[in-house]
Amino acid sequence: METGEERTIGKDRVQDGFFKRRLVRPILDLLRQGVTPEKIALSVALGAALGIIPVLGWSTTLCAIAAIFLRLNLPAIQIVNYFVYPVQIALLVPFFRWGEKLFRAPHFPISVPQIYALFHAGVWIAIRLLWTTIWHAIVVWAMLAPVFFGLLYVTLMPLLHRALRREVNPVGGDA
């Protein structure tokens, strides 16, 4: 019989394997293919920062535009964008609340399920109802995203350089 702890460890291994397979391995493959750590860090940090914009449906387009104009790796930026989607959803209401505080706007009581229901009922209805709230949230995001991007970029740079050195000189490979 499997204990709760064993189940948790097994679940962690599955999640760990999923993230390694779907996020870490593709990034390491880019390093092996010659993409510089700087470009990968820029792709990952931008994908994460743009991926949490408090507007549903915009992040994929914004990431694609950024990748094209900055000549970044499109698959890398989109992989990260898709991985931060749950964070984008989790931050919708907090961005709405911070926007209300910043602009001293009246409280608009809404939850994530209600937002989804509005968009499923009709995009134009949702936009008309949430227009001001969304713009306030975008302003807050625009203030926080550069800081988040910068912190993530400077954190990733040494990690990616270390990973590149490991790829060039694998353990046991230098004699």
Per-residue pLDDT tens over the stretch 9-55: 555 455 567 667 766 777 777 767 777 889 999 999 999 999 999 99
DSSP labels, 10-37 = HHHHHHHHHHIIIIIHHHHHHHHTT--H
DSSP state of 172: T
Name the residue with higher pLDDT: 120 or 167. Answer: 120
Q: What is the pLDDT of residue 22?
A: 66
Residue range 90-106: average pLDDT?
96
pLDDT in tens, 38-50: 999 999 999 999 9
Q: Over pLDDT 90: what percentage of the chain?
A: 51
Q: What is the pLDDT of residue 1?
A: 52
Q: What is the pLDDT of residue 7?
A: 53
User: d(Cα 145, Cα 142) in Å, to the nearest integer?
Assistant: 5
pLDDT in tens, 99-153: 999 999 999 888 889 988 988 888 888 888 889 999 999 999 999 999 999 999 9
Please give the mean pLDDT across all residues of the chain.
85
Closest CA to 77 of 30, 34, 32: 30
Pull the structure tokens for residue 109.
């009581």
Amino acid in the structure at residue 168 = V
The model scores a pTM over 0.75: yes
Q: Which residues of 88-121 are buried (b: 16+ CB within 10 A; e: fewer)?
A: beebbbebbbbbbeeeeeeeeebeeeebeebeee
Residues 6+ apart with CB under 8 A from 114: none
Q: What is the pLDDT of residue 17?
A: 76
